[in-house]
Structure 1
Amino acid sequence: MVLSSTLSLIAVSGCVLLLCGSSCASNDTIPLVIWHGMGDSCCNPLSMGAMKKMVEEEVPGIYVLSLMIGKSVLEDTENGFFMDVNEQVSFVCHQLAQDPKLKGGYNAMGFSQGSQFLRAVAQRCPYPPMKNLISVGGQHQGVYGLPRCPGESSHICDWIRKKLNSGAYTDAVQKHLVQAQYWHDPLNDDLYKKYSLFLADINQERVVNETYKKNLMSLNKFVMVKFLKDTMVDPVDSEWFGFYKPGQAEEMETLMDSALYKEDRLGLAEMNKAGKLVFLATNGDHLQFTTEWFNEKLLPFLH
C-alpha cells in the first residue's frame, strides 16, 4: 500500500479506497463527472463518495457528479456486472443532457472500466461537451483475463471467468455480462470484431464512424493513467491503448504501432500530434496512488 501524509487511494477490486485527505487547491469550477469501476458504486464512502467529497473540498464551488447507474447503490453495483454497456452509456448520456449544471461542459474522470465507458460517452454524446477525459486504469483495448475480479466477490468472478472462457462472444454472454463487452481475444480476432457489442464498436473495428472520430478529437486532453504494478488488468498495456500483436497473446504492441493508430480510425494520431494525448504512469497496483501524485498529475486537468 502506498501512503502519503494526507491521502492514500488504494485498489480493492475495481474500487478506490479513500483513507483521508485535503491539500490541493483550485479556483476553477468546471464540473466533474466521475464513473466508478467494477464492483464499486457511485457513493461508497470509502471510494467514490470520498473522492467526490475531496474534490468538492479542494476545488471550491465545483459541481461533482458521481454517476449512479440505476435507482440505488445496490443496482449501481450490480449493473457494473450485468447491465448492457450500451444501455449504461445511453442512460448516462440522457442524465448528462438533462443536467443544467453541465450545459456549459464538464471534465470526466473514469476509474477502471468506467474509463472506457466515459470514452464512449465522449464519442457518442457530444452535448454537453466533454472537455478533458481522464482515464484512471481504463482498459481501452479491452482485457484478455481477469486476474482479480474483484477479490471480495470471488463467487461472481469465478462464474464470470467460466462464462468468458466458454463463450465470450455468444449472444447471451455479450448481452448480459459487462466484462464480455470489453473482452478482447487476440486469438479469435474475427469473432471479436464481429460479435463484440461494445468495444469493437467504439474502437471502430468494423466500420469507421466519422462522428465518433470527430467527437473524440474535440477533447482538449485525453489523459491515460497506467499502473505499472497492476495485478488486475490483463494486459496492463491496455491502459495506454496498447495490446497484444494480432494472432497471439504474448508479444505486446504500443498504441503507436497498432493498426488502429496507423489507420487513425479514432483520430488518436491527429490528437497525439496536437498534444492532446497524455500518458501518465505510477508504480502502484490497480487504482493505487497517493494524494501528492493526484495533485501533481491529475488535478491540473480539472481546471
Structure 2
Amino acid sequence: MGDTCCLPFSLGAIKTLIEEHVNGTYVRSLKIGGNVVLDYESGFFIHPNEQVEYVCKHLAQDERLVEGYNAIGFSQGGQFLRAVAQRCPEPPMRTLITLGGQHQGVFGLPMCPTLTATSCEYISRLLNVAAYEEWVQAELVQATYWHDPLHENQYRLGSTFLADINNELYLNENYVENLNKLKKFVMVMFLNDTIVQPKESQWFQFYTSGQDRVIQSFNESKVYQDLGLDRMLREGKLQFLGIEGDHLAISKAWFIEHLVPLLLE
C-alpha cells in the first residue's frame, strides 16, 4: 500500500539487496499493470482477486520460474502472495516469506502515512461503517481484508477476499493442499507495529470473536485447522519471526541475517 515495485529507495532496493546476496539468482519484483502509476494505484483500488489473477498469469509465463520460486510479500502483499500459493500451484512456490502481512485481516486504521490526513480519515470512517457494502468491497482494497470481530457473520458473508482465502465461507480443499505444498511459510511480525491492528494478525492471530481486546491463540483459531496450518506446524513448515520496530521498519543487516538464508535453501 503506497509503494510500487521498483522505486530505488524501497522495493527496488530490496531487489538489489537480494541479488547481491544470493549469488546472482534471478529476482523479479512484481508490477501490477503496465506502468508504475497503475502499480501504485493497485495498492488501493485494484481488487486483490484481480491482482492475484494477474500475478498468476505472469508467473506462469516466466520461463525462469518454471522449476519453482521463493516469494516475499511486504504488508498487504503478504496475504496477496499467500493467495497466489493457494490458488495457483504452478509454477510451484517453495518458500513464502511475509513481512507485516495481515493474515487474519485488520480492525483499525490508525495511521496511513502515504495519504493525506483527510484521505486517511475518510477511509477509516468508510471502513468502520460500510466495509462490507458491495461497492466498497469492489472499490477499496483495504475493505477486502477488513475483519470486524464484533460482526463476524457480516465479515464472512461480505468479505470478497480474506474470508475466501482463509476458508471461512466454505472449505476449499485445494487451498489446503496447495498451501501445504510450501516447503516453508515464514511470518515476520513487527513487534511495535502501529499500522496493523492487531499486530498479531501478522502471525495469523486475531481478536477472540465478539470483542476487540483479547487475542485468540494461534492454535485456537478456526482458520488453524480449516486452512491446514495445524498440519504445516506439525511438519515444521511454519516459522514465526519477530523484530522490534514499527511497520516494515527493517534493517538491511537483519534482512541479510534472517531472511537471505531462507532464500538459499
What TM-score range do you get, normalising by the shorter chain?
over 0.9
Give 2:259's aligned residue. 298
- Report the equivalent of 1:28: none
Match of residue 243 from structure 1: 206
The residue that corresponds to 1:11 in the other structure is none
Q: Do 1:116 and 1:139's aligned partners in 2 also have CA atoms closer than 8 Å?
A: yes
2:124 to 129, 154, 161: 161
Within the alignment, does 1:148 sit opposite 2:111 as a pair?
A: yes
What's 1:19 paired with? none
User: Is contact 2:18-2:260 (8 Å) kept?
Assistant: no
Shift of 1:259: 2.0
Where structure 1 has 5 or more consecutive residues not aligned to the other structure, the ranges are: 1-37
Which structure exhibits the higher relative contact order, with contacts defined as CA atoms closer than 8 Å and separated by 6 or more residues? 1
Q: Does 1:285 align with 2:246?
A: yes
Aligned-pair CA distance for 1:72: 1.1
Counterpart check, 1:49 vs 2:49: no
CA deviation string 1:216-252 (max 9, x = no partner): 0000000000011111110000000000001111111
Q: Which residue of 1 aligns with 2:84?
A: 121
Q: What is the aligned partner in structure 2 of residue 186 from structure 1?
A: 149
**Does residue 230 of structure 2 align to residue 269 of structure 1?**
yes
Considering fraction of residues, name the structure with more strand.
Answer: 1
CA RMSD of aligned residues (A): 1.0
SS at 1:289's partner residue?
coil
Conserved? CA contact 1:141–1:241, under 8 Å: yes
* Match of residue 88 from structure 1: 51
Separation in 2, partners of 1:285, 1:49: 21
1:206 matches 2:206? no
1:66 is aligned to 29
| Identical columns (%) | 55
Q: Secondary structure at the match of 1:138?
A: coil
User: Post-superposition shift, 1:256?
Assistant: 1.2
Distance in 1 (alpha carbons) for counterparts of 2:117 and 2:32: 22
SS in 2 for 1:225: strand
Which whole-Å CA distance do the structure 1 matches of 2:235 and 2:249 have between them? 30
Return 5+ residue gaps in structure 2 as ranges.
none
The worse-fitting range, judged by mean Cα deviation, of 44-53 and 147-156 is 147-156
2:75 corresponds to which residue? 112
**Equivalence for 1:230:** 193
Structure 1 position 152, deviation (Å): 4.4
Give CA deviations for 1:154-209 in whole Å, capped at 9, x if unaligned. 34322211221220000000011000000000001000001100000000001110
For 1:143, give the aligned amino acid.
V
Mapped contact 1:220–1:276 kept (Cα < 8 A): yes
Secondary structure of the structure 1 residue equivalent to 2:239? strand
* Residue pair 1:42, 1:66 contacting (<8 A) in 2 also: yes
Q: In the alignment, is residue 132 of structure 1 matched against residue 98 of structure 2? A: no
Alignment of 1:176 onto 2:139:
yes
Structure-2 separation of matches of 1:226 and 1:137: 5
Partner-residue secondary structure (3-state), 2:151: helix
* Residues 247-294 of structure 1: CA deviation (Å, up to 9, x unaligned): 111111121121222xx1111000000000000001111111222221
Cross-structure match for 1:195: 158
CA distance in 2, matches of 1:150, 1:184: 21
1:258 equivalent in alignment to 2:221: yes
Q: TM-score, normalised by structure 1?
A: 0.85
8 Å CA contact 1:237–1:254 kept in 2: the answer is no
Quick one: structure 1 residues 62 and 156, their matched pair in 2 at CA, closer, same or farther if it must change by over 3 Å?
farther
Give the 3-state SS of the residue equivalent to 2:2 in structure 1.
Answer: coil
The range that moved more, 63-72 or 152-161, is 152-161
> 1 CA distance for matches of 2:22 and 2:229?
30
2:34 partner SS: coil
1:173 maps to a residue whose letter is: V
Distance 2:206 2:212 in 1: 9
TM-score by length of 2: 0.97
Q: 1:215 aligns with which of 145, 168, 178?
A: 178
The separation in 1 between residues aligned to 2:117 and 2:13, in whole angstroms, is 25
Separation in 1 of the partners of 2:37 and 2:117?
A: 18
